Amino acid sequence: MRLTFAAVVLLVFLSGCASTGDWSSDTPTKTSPKASRAARVNLQNQSVSKVYAPSDNLWIRIRDGFQMEPMNNPQEMEQLRWLSARPDYVHRSMARSSRYLFYIVQEVNARNMPTEIALLPFVESAFVTHAKSSAKAVGLWQFMPATGKDFQLTQNVFRDERRDVLQSTDAALDYLQRLHNQFGSWELA
């Protein structure tokens, strides 16, 4: 998790997307939970291609939702150095994220979670939806087969919902909320 936070800090620093603008009143916020429920996307009737982001404000929205404190430990500093030395890697990952990041931030905000969590796929898969680890974790959120089944993500010869951005995001946020309830800390979750 510490490396995740380091990556999040570096992403925001490198993004440089500081622009101005206001979010509409129906956007989920910490102070408006009723708007959060109304703004949730119905996963049955939606696709990622239909969710459009006001990109000029997204990074401001992400930074404004930060809730986790920097750890400032050696592992975090090493991750910052590694990412700083690879701006092309960060740029490619951020370009891939542009298709999904607004939706993920919207869902994170709807659940009143720290927006750092929306950047977790950067660390897990570099926003590659078909990523597969040697341990058989798959997708944007890198679900292991058993964990995916635990969160009702279909995995068969025809379909693997661990690769589905909408389904896996919903499952990942459910999982992170479960871990937060169990450990009482977003850092531990």
Concatenating the DSSP letter of every residue in 106-157 gives: HHHHHTT--GGGGGHHHHHHTT-TT-B-TT--BTTTTB-HHHHHHTT--BSS
CA angle 95, 29, 178 (to 5 degrees): 80
Please say if 107 is a catalytic residue.
no
Q: Which residues pair with 143 in a beta bridge?
A: 138
SS (H, E, C) 43-93: HHHCCHHHCCCCHHHHHHHHHHCCCCCCCCCHHHHHHHHHHHCCHHHHHHH
Of the candidates 76, 107, 116, 124, the residue annotated as catalytic is 124
Q: How far is residue 12 from each of residues 6, 48, 49, 133, measured CA to CA in Å?
A: 10, 23, 24, 26
Decide: helix, strand or coil at residue 16. coil
Q: Which residues are catalytic?
A: 124
